[in-house]
Chain A
């Protein structure tokens, strides 16, 4: 996949998909659900942030394991780059979800802070903390081999816990998150066929954008390494 980083075709495809998602996202007919109304369109923007994060962090995990198996520094760099992009999407997901929640559930009242203790938000925040710690860990070590090995191992445990925190934990208790208790993420809204037509490309497009960001970071760090040799 690292070789893909240097190709361009999928970047044009990413832009095309995202343009489609934005145009369609704003114009398709959506069901008028209680409390959500038109904001249901956030489905095409907020939710893909989380899918993107899960996929990018999975990529980070894969490259961490690859590093442990092959010992190539490039794999470690890729793992860190994926984690970086995944973390960004996590922040965006948390921010957009917060806004969405406050203006629906809390009726726009920011002083109504009941949403902060929602299990899904807590789970997501914990996930973000796990990967923030990943970068703190990396920053604490100067020896490149050690840094790569330790962060790769941390990655493995970290990703497992991340999945537990955002998927398993919120469904074990009551949650404000729409439709928790149903399917993971889909049972939430009655995704009409029209919505699905926009939603699936949205997930793919935003995830590909995340990969583009990861690729840029990877190439930047790589070039910096090479210039310092």
Chain B
């Protein structure tokens, strides 16, 4: 596999994927927190 300049393409791809995944995880986390607060209200 010549041309090691191309490894940075893979690198960029992975970073983008991972950022996307983390954003998703965060979104899910926040949504659950919202639900938890909602279901705790009638205390």
Residues of A that sit less than 8 Å from B by CB = 8, 11, 15, 18-19, 22-23, 26-27, 37-38, 212-213, 216, 219-220, 223, 226-227
Contact = CB atoms under 8 A, between A and B. Distances in A.
A56 to B, nearest CB: 16
Given A26-B7, A26-B10, A212-B25, A219 B18 contact: no
Given A23-B15, A26-B10, A226-B39, 6 more contacts: A22-B15, A23-B11, A37-B1, A216-B25, A220-B32, A227-B35
Contacts, number: 38
A219 B32 contact: yes
Contacts of B15: 19, 22-23
Would you call the interface of chain A mostly helix, strand, loop, or mixed?
helix
Interface string B2-43: 000001101100110010001001001100100110010000
A227 B39 contact: yes
Contacts of B7: 26, 38
Given A15-B22, A22-B18, A26-B10, A216 B39 contact: no
Given A11-B29, A22-B15, A219 B36 contact: yes
A103 to B, nearest CB: 11
Nearest to B7: A26
A15 B25 CA distance: 11
B14 A22 contact: yes
Could you say which of B29, B32, B35 has the most chain A C-beta atoms within 10 Å of its C-beta? B32
A139 B1 CA distance: 48
B11 A19 contact: no
